[in-house]
Structure 1
Amino acid sequence: MRATNRLSAQFVKAAPVGKHCDGAGLWLVKRDDGGAQWVLRVTVHGRRREMGLGGFPALSLAHARKLSDRWRMLAAMGRDPIKEREAESRAARREDISLSILTSDAFEARKADLKGDGIAGRWLSPLNIHVLPKLGKVPITDLDQRDIRDVLAPIWHTKADTARKALNRLSIVLRHAAALGLDVDLQAPEKAKALLGKSRHVAKNIPSMAWIDIPQFYKSLEEPTLTHLALRLLILNPGTRSKPIRFMRLDQVQDDVWTVPGEDMKGRKGATPAFRVPLSREAQRLIALARPHARNGFLFPNSRGGVISDMTLSRHMERHGLEARPHGFRASLRTWLAEATDAPHEVAEAMIAHFVDSSVVRAYRRTDFLDQRRQLAERWADHVTGGPRQLMQLGALK
């Protein structure tokens, strides 16, 4: 095999999951989620350095080779390419202090705190959609409360949560700029909030289904399609939310326990531990029915190599004239726990993956109530499938 230029453009497009060497330290890293990243490995002063060049297909094979040639040449001269790139970035920041540039810089600094490194784009989207199109080129040192008020006024009463997030992100970006030594008005977001006034928007809870009505809906999901199976599994285990269900992998299930990775649970990366889910006999039966559909390890794949979308589940309920949405099954389960069982509060909250105590308390109380939750999961499965409905007595669990 050739020492360099080993990969072809055609191979890169269809590369399987794993690491693929193009030669001379250039690698293509293909992830399980279908994304890919170019990585360059060089040695500087006897120390190996690994730097990301960019993602594919945004960065083509030809462009990745050109970039790698440049950074490899610097390494051969004894200069650290990663530090050189950082120096170039700092120089660019000194020349361009626009809100857009500082937003990108703040996001990069914050990525490690965001779930999935912020790849989904939710952190940036309020600014990208509602702020940066009008204010992106404004020097951040010129940004004031009137600028912020003017861009957020159109959504202040109609999209209150989005507007609130945009204000929060702007505060973070301004603090980041201040840390870089720029003269910015840190109070501008709060002043803008005062100018905008109180929002008329009234927050609404996600519609849920009464727990007494769930058996009838569950029975309607009798076709062994991926949508029906995923919805049934979500109803049985609503504490996980829909994402872990949709991204469920066969290697996460062992006997009657499903271990959900922390990054798939709601919460920031690194702050959420893996969550063990006790699987009822009915849940295990559904997983067995879904196994023949598995692809690339995912239990609920779609035709494009990923997994079924959250909208697939929501639209199914919408098409059937239901006001309730998949996320609402969490409320259904929690209400059933309160009204039809005497489960201790901590156990009931653990059923929906709520952590009610501080991290210090949880550090000393080293239990996730798995055995107690296993009993409750079986009783909940009996209810939703129309099985025995006697009151669950859990006094012994207290």
Structure 2
Amino acid sequence: MAKRGINRLTARTVATAGVGYHCDGDSLYLQVTQGGDGSLNRSWLVRYATGEIKMSASGKSRRAERQMGLGPYPRVSLKEAREKAQEALRLTASGQDPVEAKRASKSSAALANAKAMSFAECAEAYIRSHEHGWRNDKHRAQSRNTLATYAHPAIGPLPVAGIDVGLVLKVLEPIWVSKPETASRLRGRIEAILDWARARGFREGENPARWRGHLDKLLPARSKIRRVEHHAALPYSAIPSFMGELHERDATAARALEFTILTAARTGEVIGVTWDEIDLRERVWTIPASRMKGGRQHRVPLSDAAITILETQAQRREGKFVFSGGNGRALSNMALLMLLRRMGLDVTAHGFRSSFRDWAGDCTHFPREVIEAALAHVVESKVEAAYRRSDAIEKRRKLMDAWARFCVEETQTGEQSL
């Protein structure tokens, strides 16, 4: 290595140095190159010997050399270049390679910056990466709104790597009893975001928002906080007389409610039904996956009574919707509820699904799997899953025909058979 001597560089010589390498001593060099436009570019580098041994053409062994850039002049001054060169030489004296140490330092800094991502930043990144798989805009809006309202004020600006049980409880405890449904969904969203952050390398360790075997030991179960409120339903024994009264009403909402009861469908599925979903020849209503709660296409076998309603609506057709609310729009989602209120009933349209389920369980011998498939419920058991894969539409057709016969009779005639 060159030793420092009387020929050390000065600021003046650096500024006027020509093309080539100019040694300052102690392995520091000024490299001057000429650009395409004729201008001169000056930068600093340090040369040092590595631990690798190389053989020369004459057979002599020598330690391999390596060089590392220290930055351009004048952004890096002569004084700064000398300090950087000395630091590099101290690393080589301790057995380290300055280039590799520099790379490791950059990697550590990048990792530290990544782990410094805030919870709010991770939440937004998580939503962006998953929202295209969510069924509707309402779900996206709810995810952002609940996080912005309840989580971000407490933990949003904090590094996601530092979110612990105490901070999660700080978010959840104020609303766990007063708003159990919201709190439960919020906990699930926080858990998902923290899982995403861990998978991306932004945090380590267990998920502090996990429920089973963790938060369930610290917070009361939602079922113990507030009794689950089911949709108010009409007893199935009252269905035939109610259907008779409903049939006397000449209104689109009445026909839609009749159709809802006969198909045991959800209110949203009925008010949104379009004519291209109906196959009168095959007597099937096919609800696309995009309109189903479970995100899977569902076929509904149509009874004679349901077909009669569709034929009636076809004579009044005003657009693409079977039950039109006027001006080419679907019927309002409040129309059925308001009709029930005008009829003096404190029940919901959705509650008729419960009426159907109770009737099917009490008055028929249809398998549970067929009944659950008719309701398009989420499949849990392997047996029910098998029915969903095979559709079981012919078995369900018999079930829905039996239900229609029960609904349109004035009095219950006893137990229905397969």
- Calculate the TM-score normalised by the size of structure 1: 0.64
How far the C-alpha of 1:389 sits from its partner, in A, is 4.2
Separation in structure 1 between the aligned mates of residue 124 and residue 318 of structure 2, nearest angstrom: 36
Q: 1:389 to 1:202 in 2, by over 3 A?
A: closer
Q: 1:168 to 1:246 in 2, by over 3 A?
A: same
Q: Aligned to 1:109, which of 119, 122, 129? A: 129
Q: Aligned to 2:256, which of 221, 227, 230? A: 230
1:313-328 → structure 2 map (5 Å cutoff):
313-318=336-341, 320-328=343-351
1:58-69 → structure 2 map (5 Å cutoff):
none
Separation in structure 1 between the aligned mates of residue 191 and residue 118 of structure 2, nearest angstrom: 15
Structure 1 unaligned residues grouped into runs of 5+: 1-92
Could you tell me whether the CA contact under 8 Å between 1:293 and 1:301 is conserved in 2? no
Percent identity for Structure 1 against Structure 2:
28
Q: Aligned to 1:374, which of 397, 400, 404? A: 397
Aligned residue in 1 for 2:284? 257
Separation in structure 2 between the aligned mates of residue 144 and residue 362 of structure 1, nearest angstrom: 38
Separation in structure 2 between the aligned mates of residue 335 and residue 237 of structure 1, nearest angstrom: 15
How far the C-alpha of 1:362 sits from its partner, in A, is 4.6
How far the C-alpha of 1:311 sits from its partner, in A, is 3.6
SS, match of residue 300 in structure 2: strand
* 323-332 vs 182-191, which moves further: 182-191
Q: Aligned to 2:237, which of 181, 203, 212? A: 212
Aligned residue in 2 for 1:9? none
Could you tell me whether the CA contact under 8 Å between 1:382 and 1:388 is conserved in 2? no
Aligned amino acid, residue 209 of structure 1: L
How far the C-alpha of 1:176 sits from its partner, in A, is 0.8
SS, match of residue 209 in structure 2: helix
Aligned residue in 1 for 2:163? 143
Task: State yes or no: 1:288 paired with 2:311.
Answer: yes
How far the C-alpha of 1:119 sits from its partner, in A, is 5.5
How far the C-alpha of 1:236 sits from its partner, in A, is 0.8
* 211-220 vs 164-173, which moves further: 211-220
* 340-349 vs 316-325, which moves further: 316-325
Separation in structure 2 between the aligned mates of residue 320 and residue 135 of structure 1, nearest angstrom: 50
Task: State yes or no: 1:171 paired with 2:182.
Answer: no
How far the C-alpha of 1:107 sits from its partner, in A, is 1.9
Separation in structure 2 between the aligned mates of residue 117 and residue 171 of structure 1, nearest angstrom: 21
Aligned amino acid, residue 259 of structure 2: L
Cα deviation, 1:41-97, whole Å, max 9, x if unaligned, reads xxxxxxxxxxxxxxxxxxxxxxxxxxxxxxxxxxxxxxxxxxxxxxxxxxxx95983
How far the C-alpha of 1:392 sits from its partner, in A, is 5.5
Aligned residue in 2 for 1:242? 267
Separation in structure 2 between the aligned mates of residue 360 and residue 113 of structure 1, nearest angstrom: 28
How far the C-alpha of 1:284 sits from its partner, in A, is 1.5
Separation in structure 1 between the aligned mates of residue 312 and residue 369 of structure 2, nearest angstrom: 33
Aligned amino acid, residue 336 of structure 1: W
How far the C-alpha of 1:118 sits from its partner, in A, is 6.6
SS, match of residue 277 in structure 1: strand
Q: 1:292 to 1:102 in 2, by over 3 A?
A: farther
Cα deviation, 1:118-147, whole Å, max 9, x if unaligned, reads 756455554344333554344323433333
SS, match of residue 131 in structure 1: helix
Structure 2 unaligned residues grouped into runs of 5+: 1-112
How far the C-alpha of 1:261 sits from its partner, in A, is 1.2
Could you tell me whether the CA contact under 8 Å between 1:171 and 1:186 is conserved in 2? no
Q: 1:383 to 1:393 in 2, by over 3 A?
A: closer
Could you tell me whether the CA contact under 8 Å between 1:207 and 1:328 is conserved in 2? yes
Q: 1:195 to 1:341 in 2, by over 3 A?
A: closer
How far the C-alpha of 1:211 sits from its partner, in A, is 0.3
Separation in structure 2 between the aligned mates of residue 133 and residue 218 of structure 1, nearest angstrom: 52
SS, match of residue 115 in structure 1: coil
Aligned residue in 2 for 1:4? none
Q: 1:361 to 1:131 in 2, by over 3 A?
A: same
Aligned residue in 2 for 1:344? 367
- Calculate the TM-score normalised by the size of structure 2: 0.61
Separation in structure 2 between the aligned mates of residue 357 and residue 198 of structure 1, nearest angstrom: 22
Could you tell me whether the CA contact under 8 Å between 2:243 and 2:258 is conserved in 1? yes
How far the C-alpha of 1:265 sits from its partner, in A, is 2.0
Could you tell me whether the CA contact under 8 Å between 2:165 and 2:209 is conserved in 1? yes
SS, match of residue 310 in structure 1: coil
Aligned residue in 1 for 2:70? none
Could you tell me whether the CA contact under 8 Å between 2:252 and 2:323 is conserved in 1? yes
How far the C-alpha of 1:105 sits from its partner, in A, is 1.7
Could you tell me whether the CA contact under 8 Å between 1:174 and 1:185 is conserved in 2? no
Separation in structure 2 between the aligned mates of residue 315 and residue 307 of structure 1, nearest angstrom: 16
Aligned amino acid, residue 257 of structure 2: L
How far the C-alpha of 1:333 sits from its partner, in A, is 0.7
Could you tell me whether the CA contact under 8 Å between 1:249 and 1:299 is conserved in 2? yes
How far the C-alpha of 1:347 sits from its partner, in A, is 2.4
Q: 1:312 to 1:120 in 2, by over 3 A?
A: farther
